[in-house]
């Protein structure tokens, strides 16, 4: 029998990779609030607050706005098992790893998956998606709004109408974009979407913000192959209280599984931070931070993969110099400077640095640390890059 | 669009219900350790520690001992989608809610479910399970070791041999029993088991400790219907590092989903607390705590549902007096005394109080608070009950 014999210390890190993002002390403090019960009336009131906060950040009036009790990928599984049936024709946009994994999840569900592709690093032309949706009876169309593997934002406009004509649901992955890139689910006609807590919300990983409108919920009939993610059961617990928020007069919620109480505390705090800043101001700050960092990194010779009109604000993916060992530089950045950035995935492994511009990471100070450290490791002029960063923030 | 307008304060609670259990400050502090990346070498080393700690508490030498990124019920789904195939004959013990929900999950997976039942409040006779397993080609047999809905411990002896003869896997739910009731998975011949963090480990809810041996892992072939829970993908990330624990020389783990970093910190701390106390000493303490509380509650007229030889140490389920409004008493206990206990589920709704005897809740001080408060609310003699409690602890 093994026993734990080592005690790993947790180093200090500046998280500027693809996520998790830096977690503010206020959110860590919320996370450590003493646990209460999942059927406690006080927790019910908190659930109502979280639902309201999620509606605001998703820009939706959907009744259902909840955290799924898993990471962002759990939100993907929840979407698939609730809204897609075996044999369904589903149009799936694939222009990076996260579209690929959705196609995989849809195959596992038994869907007839129609892939609509674009090269990794480009958005998918809307007309390609629309044509695929119009080509036959379609149950759903799925796109990744913020492709974390490439730093590309997929336009959502024009897809919902094509879906409506086919009676198809419009499903979206907004894991990396939520609260860091302009997104209005109701305006875009999105029927259901999932996200993750560990990107622009700056909450530790572990929950998947999730929303679904009535067109999507009509597909929920209790026959989901997953017991854990079946919304017909989950929503018995996560339904709105009828008391308007204070929980006192609410009917008892029905037990499904034990909610991840402390993670919900942290999510509530993360949503409060968004509310205090204002969602549009937050989007604008992420755009400024992205552009300032892009300019500074360009001075260091690092060019962005995405084109200007397709760039995803919260994730800046740049090509490392071809004459260096990119993994060694990333390793030194982590080891010697305590800064995490992410490498490329799939066909872009070894060819990309993915830098997070997420929440409190989308501010001048952490970007200065990154630019200074990268300049040192690359043997470039830090001052020029830092001046460009400052210019970017002041323009 | 809604915005969050209320800020719910989190009340202080003594959690003596069916879980979550009280979380020690040391675990809350661990939870709030600043987040690092899921691919950070330091996190890899921590994952090795967690695996070793899980092996110790499960009493297994299984290579695979990991936290599934969901609550205990997520662990159930993970077990089903990885080890059961559509059409499989699966024997499922049902003697409470958690056996019922496993039967439901197996049906959803397309299994041919053979229910072996006992009344809620009793264990299932081993010979009934053995006979059902022997009755035909069987892919798996499942039992709930600690039935949280009734406070009954299911004996595990004698089942593994019947399984081996049929080539069946022996699958176990040990959500409530893990570290609070004698359990030795390898000695019992269990092939795979899942648990939850929020019971005897005193960690907040959100992870499902999970283990599987080689006989079970042979069934994993990448065809799981769930992308999120597919062990063929999950284990690429959670594999042992080859460095013996310090992570430095380990190959990079392959990314699947972003691990719930902070919850893993908390689990590591919870496992460390078990290691410091010693697993057998912990079992003995839970047995003492259960018996002391049972005697004290008997003085108040509250009789245990389970028989003495079938009682589950971490969950004491007692019948409330028939002449009271049990929900009102539980409500007053929560509201006026800050103490949570749980009511009955399913056919036992309104007929049972389920009291947690879990981890730091299985100590004299919280039990004194509960006994004193219950005596007050029931109009009984607190002193006599408290004397019995003290006697129980000193005998």
Q: Which residue of A has its CA nearest to B344?
A: A255
User: Which whole-number Å values give the CA distances from A20 to A147, A304, A332, in the listed order?
Assistant: 15, 21, 19
Residue A29, Cα to own-chain centre: how many angstroms? 22
- pLDDT for the residue B247: 44
Tell me: pLDDT of A166 over 90: yes
Quick check: A226 and B77 CB within 8 A? Answer: yes
What's the predicted TM-score (pTM) here? 0.96
Tell whether A34 is within 8 A of chain B (Cβ): yes
Tell whether A76 is within 8 A of chain B (Cβ): yes
Indicate the residue of A3, A23, A340 with minimum beta-carbon distance to B52. Answer: A3
Q: Which region holds residue A173: left if phi is over 0, alpha if psi is between -120 and 50, else beta? A: beta
More confident residue, B250 or B296: B296
Distance CA A373, CA A361 (A): 16
Q: Which residue of B has its CA nearest to A261?
A: B205
What's the average model confidence in pLDDT over B7-12?
87
Mapping DSSP to helix (H, G, I), strand (E, B) and coil, where does residue A133 land? helix
What's the average model confidence in pLDDT over A222-239?
93
pLDDT confidence bin for B245, thresholds 50/70/90: very low
Q: Which residue of B has its CA nearest to A343?
A: B39
State residue A241 phi and psi, 5-degree precision.
Answer: -75, 160
What is the dihedral sign for C-alpha B74, B77, B79, B82? negative
What's the average model confidence in pLDDT over A172-196?
98
Partner A, chain B 264-323, Cβ-Cβ below 8 Å = 265, 268, 271-272, 275
- pLDDT for the residue A1: 38
What's the average model confidence in pLDDT over B305-322?
98
Quick check: A46 and B22 CB within 8 A? Answer: no
Quick check: B37 and A15 CB within 8 A? Answer: yes
Tell whether B222 is within 8 A of chain A (Cβ): no
What's the average model confidence in pLDDT over B274-290?
98
What's the average model confidence in pLDDT over A193-207?
98
User: Which whole-number Å values give the CA distances from B180 to A36, B74, B201, B286, in the listed order?
Assistant: 21, 21, 8, 6
Tell whether A254 is within 8 A of chain B (Cβ): no
Burial of B215 (0-12, 13-18, 19+ CB in 10 A): middle
- Among A26, A55, A103, A204, most B C-beta atoms within 10 A, so best to mutate, is A204
Tell whether A213 is within 8 A of chain B (Cβ): no
- Among A5, A7, A9, A10, most B C-beta atoms within 10 A, so best to mutate, is A10
- B16-53: pLDDT as tens digits: 999 999 999 999 999 999 999 999 999 999 999 999 99
What's the average model confidence in pLDDT over B229-239?
92
User: Which residues in chain A touch residue B268, judged by CB atoms under 8 angstroms apart?
Assistant: 4
- pLDDT for the residue B8: 75
Q: Which residue of B has its CA nearest to A44?
A: B8
- pLDDT for the residue B68: 98
- pLDDT for the residue A254: 86
Q: What percent of chain A has pLDDT over 90?
A: 93
A15 and B37 in contact (C-beta within 8 Å)?
Answer: yes
ipTM of the complex: 0.96
What's the average model confidence in pLDDT over A67-77?
98
Quick check: A10 and B73 CB within 8 A? Answer: no
Distance CA B340, CA B336 (A): 11
Tell me: pLDDT of B295 over 50: yes
HEC secondary structure over B314-365 = CEEEEECCCCCCHHHHHHHHHHHHCEECEECCHHHCCCCEEEECCHHHCCHH
Domains and CATH numbers, chain A: 25-277 (3.40.640.10), 279-394 (3.90.1150.10)
Partner A, chain B 131-190, Cβ-Cβ below 8 Å = none
B359 and B180 in contact (C-beta within 8 Å)?
Answer: yes
HEC secondary structure over chain B = CCCCCCCCCCCCCEECCCCCCCCCHHHHHHHCCCCCCCCCHHHHHHHHHHHHHHHHHHCCCCCEEEEECCCHHHHHHHHHHHHCCCCCEEEEEECCHHHHHHHHHHHHCCCEEEEEECCCCCCCCHHHHHHHHHCCCCCEEEEECEECCCCEECCCCCHHHHHHHHCCEEEEECCCCCCCCCCCHHHHCCCEEECCCCCCCCCCCCCEEEEECHHHHCCCCCCCCCCCCCHHHHHHHHCCCCCCCCCCCCCCCCCCCCCCHHHHHHHHHHHHHHHHHCHHHHHHHHHHHHHHHHHHHHHCCCEECCCHHHECCCEEEEECCCCCCHHHHHHHHHHHHCEECEECCHHHCCCCEEEECCHHHCCHHHHHHHHHHHHHHHCCCHHHHHHHHHHHHHC
Tell whether B334 is within 8 A of chain A (Cβ): yes
What's the average model confidence in pLDDT over B142-159?
98
Q: Residue B1 corresponds to which tokens in the numbers above?
A: 């669009």
Distance CA A220, CA A191 (A): 13
Q: Residue B265 corresponds to which tokens in the numbers above?
A: 């910190």
CA of B316 vs chain A CAs: smallest distance (Å): 18
CA of B315 vs chain A CAs: smallest distance (Å): 16
What's the average model confidence in pLDDT over A233-244?
72
Strand A146-147 to A140-144 pairing: unpaired
Q: What is the overall mean pLDDT for chain B?
A: 95
Quick check: B259 and A71 CB within 8 A? Answer: yes
- pLDDT for the residue B251: 56
Q: Which residue of A has its CA nearest to B38?
A: A20
Q: Residue B170 corresponds to which tokens in the numbers above?
A: 């022996």
DSSP symbol at A311: B
Which strand (E) or helix (H) includes residue A164? helix A159-166
- pLDDT for the residue B241: 52
Q: What is the overall mean pLDDT for chain A?
A: 95
pLDDT confidence bin for B99, thresholds 50/70/90: very high
Tell me: pLDDT of A242 over 50: no
Q: Residue A28 corresponds to which tokens in the numbers above?
A: 């860590």
Tell me: pLDDT of B314 over 80: yes
Tell whether B360 is within 8 A of chain A (Cβ): no
What's the average model confidence in pLDDT over A266-284?
98
Tell me: pLDDT of A300 over 70: yes
Q: Which residue of B has its CA nearest to A76?
A: B228
Indicate the residue of A2, A50, A69 with minimum beta-carbon distance to B71. Answer: A69
Q: Residue B14 corresponds to which tokens in the numbers above?
A: 């003594």
Distance CA B254, CA A311 (A): 27
Mapping DSSP to helix (H, G, I), strand (E, B) and coil, where does residue A78 land? helix
- B168-220: pLDDT as tens digits: 999 999 999 999 999 999 999 999 999 999 999 999 999 999 999 999 999 99
Distance CA A312, CA A352 (A): 15
- pLDDT for the residue B254: 86
Q: Which residues contact B235 (CB under 8 A, 6 or more apart)?
A: B64, B66, B220
């Amino acid at each position: 029998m093994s026993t734990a014999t080592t005690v790993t210390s947790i180093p200090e890190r500046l998280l500027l990779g693809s996520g998790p993002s830096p977690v503010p002390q206020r959110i860590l403090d919320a996370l450590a609030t003493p646990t209460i019960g999942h059927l406690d009336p006080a927790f019910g009131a908190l659930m109502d607050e979280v639902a309201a906060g999620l509606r605001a950040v998703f820009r939706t009036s959907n009744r259902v706005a909840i955290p799924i009790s898993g990471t962002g990928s759990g939100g993907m599984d929840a979407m698939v098992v609730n809204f897609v049936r075996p044999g369904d024709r589903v149009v799936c946009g694939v222009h990076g790893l996260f579209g690929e994994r959705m196609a995989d999840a849809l195959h596992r569900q038994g869907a007839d998956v129609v892939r609509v592709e674009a090269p990794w690093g480009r958005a998918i032309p809307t007309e390609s998606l629309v044509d695929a949706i119009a080509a036959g009876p379609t149950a759903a169309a799925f796109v990744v709004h913020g492709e974390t593997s490439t730093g590309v934002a997929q336009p959502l406009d024009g897809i919902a109408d094509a879906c409506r004509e086919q009676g198809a649901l419009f499903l979206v992955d907004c894991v990396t974009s939520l609260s860091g890139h302009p997104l209005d689910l109701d305006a875009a006609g999105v029927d259901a979407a999932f996200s993750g807590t560990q990107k622009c919300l700056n909450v530790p990983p572990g929950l998947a913000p999730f929303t679904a409108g009535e067109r999507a919920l009509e597909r929920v009939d209790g026959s989901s192959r997953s017991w854990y993610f079946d919304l017909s059961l989950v929503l018995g617990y996560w339904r709105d209280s009828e008391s308007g928020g204070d929980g006192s007069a609410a009917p008892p919620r029905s037990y499904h599984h034990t909610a991840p109480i402390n993670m919900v505390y942290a999510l509530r705090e993360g949503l409060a931070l968004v509310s205090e800043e204002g969602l549009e101001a937050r989007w604008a700050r992420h755009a400024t931070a992205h552009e300032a960092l892009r300019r500074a990194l360009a001075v260091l010779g690092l060019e962005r993969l995405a084109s200007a009109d397709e760039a995803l604000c919260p994730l800046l993916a740049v090509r490392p110099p071809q004459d260096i060992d990119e993994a060694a530089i990333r390793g030194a950045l982590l080891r010697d400077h305590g800064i995490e950035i992410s490498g490329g995935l799939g066909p872009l492994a070894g060819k990309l640095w993915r830098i997070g511009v997420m929440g409190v990471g989308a501010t001048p100070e952490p970007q200065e640390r990154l630019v200074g450290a990268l300049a040192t490791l690359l043997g470039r002029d830090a001052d020029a890059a830092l001046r460009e960063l400052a210019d970017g923030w002041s323009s």
